[in-house]
Structure 1
């Protein structure tokens, strides 16, 4: 069930934040070679792999992930989209020696680097996998989506996010790294950084309510024992009433680094 909700959340993230994804992929397309082989690291549900294939018509995509369930979902989506001939999947642990991925012009790592136990090792592997002149793109979350800014329920949402951030820190996730510095240390040059402040107000995409429901439900179920009973009850009440609200917004921040081998 947790896996299913994560898949749905990743798919909804791309649907609701489609302008952000289009902007970043367009930037990569302008910097890459005409018909690049793109490796999508930690491809998850395939959101980025499909978007890369659609927006870069000459590209072929290799989607790499540790989860066979995620990769099966990705293949099904590629089949439905008529893109299976341009997207292949590879099951691999990116903290282990990488499999041979063939000649690579672009490596795309969206919200995946912070999960790795050895980011420096993965960056060295990425440098070794890329052709000279190839691109590494790292996109990370500076803040997880917030939906209740300016409403009476904003405070309990912020409390949930604060406790979730503590839990990620305790788990050793590499949140808030300066990946540009890490890339330079690994040998990448011409590193460019772009910061995106996403602030969506009504009217919002139709999927926004479901995006909020899944996001807040996942947050609430990861915080047993960290929030008071009153706060947990408040979050459950908020999730149950989201479909009747007209005051939702979507606020999040992302940073993207692009470097060249």
Structure 2
């Protein structure tokens, strides 16, 4: 969304394995947008209510990924244009293709930039959308100061942070030990504490330090149960595959074998064939205004 609960992050990669990874990320982000459509619709409707006249005409999607946020906001604000900013050239190319399909190519401009290096030269904007992207920045306080300067007075910044990563599996799943998915997330959390220290942050104090007035804060919990969107199985598979790539040496052989069967099997134990999936996750959204 840059709805990046699986995080493409702020990094540059230029080799074939990285390109494959970026293609997988693009698929995951698009599946996230499809399955989490109700959440995104609710969030953007709320933002539309909070936006005051004059309505936003220029939107910046900070860490845009495949453009989920930009496209949703362009649908809400029909007279607006969007700047999609991301470090990944491949994701931005994918975004431009989606813009053409959606008929909004003339309303979207892409900017490739590594914000840990320098803030790009862009015109001032009326609304900034930063969904699951701030926690990737080496110095989020500096980025918030740059965003403040990039906004017109009265402009809005929307920050979305992950409270919990999506979960899909029954709690009793696991060979001899229930709670496989919970163990997966616990194992990942150990590494993420060092690699992504700002993940899960409460951004109120940072917003205030940058000069923003916090207009609203709201949690959004998702708990989807059957019948689910048709793409849920592929979304769960792509999500668990990305998790699995970081679990070697962190979990037992039995747990890893069970996870591999879930992800890769085309039989009844494979995740694409399961009829007991759910989608459970939570995010917090802050809306802040430049005075």
Give the TM-score band, short-chain normalised.
Answer: over 0.9
Q: Name 1:260's counterpart in structure 2.
A: 289
Corresponding residue SS for 1:133: strand
Computed over aligned residues only, the root mean square deviation of the Cα atoms, in angstroms, reads: 1.3
Q: For residue 169 of structure 1, give the secondary structure of its aligned residue in structure 2.
A: helix
Structure 1 residue 111 corresponds to structure 2 residue 132: yes
Partner of 1:161: 185
Partners of 2:67 and 2:84 within 8 A in 1: yes
TM-score (norm 1): 0.96
Within the candidate set 227, 242, 250, 2:271 is matched to: 242
Bigger mean CA deviation after superposition, 211-220 or 182-191: 182-191
| SS in structure 2 at match of 1:44 | coil
Shift of 1:229: 1.3
Give CA-to-partner distance per residue, 1:38-86, whole Å, 9 cap, x none.
1000001112122222232121100001111111111011011111010
CA distance in 2, matches of 1:174, 1:130: 23
Q: Give the one of 126, 130, 145 matched to 2:166.
A: 145
Q: Using the alignment, how far apart are the partners of 1:18 and 1:173 within structure 2? A: 28
Aligned to 1:203: 227
Count of residues in Structure 1 that have an aligned counterpart in Structure 2: 261
Q: Name the TM-score, length of structure 2 as normaliser.
A: 0.86
Residue 224 of structure 1, aligned match among 225, 248, 264: 248
Contact 2:141 2:206 in 1 (8 A): yes
Is the partner of 1:62 in helix, strand or coil?
strand
Q: Secondary structure at the match of 1:63?
A: strand
**14-23 or 32-41, larger mean C-alpha shift:** 32-41
Structure 1 residues 75 and 180: CA distance shift in structure 2, 3 A: same
Q: CA deviation at 1:25?
A: 1.0
Query: 1:7 is matched with which residue: 19, 26, 29?
Result: 26
Deviations 1:119-156 (A, max 9, x none): 00000000011010100100111111000134434611
Helix, strand or coil at the partner of 1:134: strand
Q: Secondary structure at the match of 1:105?
A: strand
In structure 1, list runs of 5 or more residues that go unmatched. Answer: none
Q: Distance in 1 between matches of 2:142 and 2:118?
A: 9
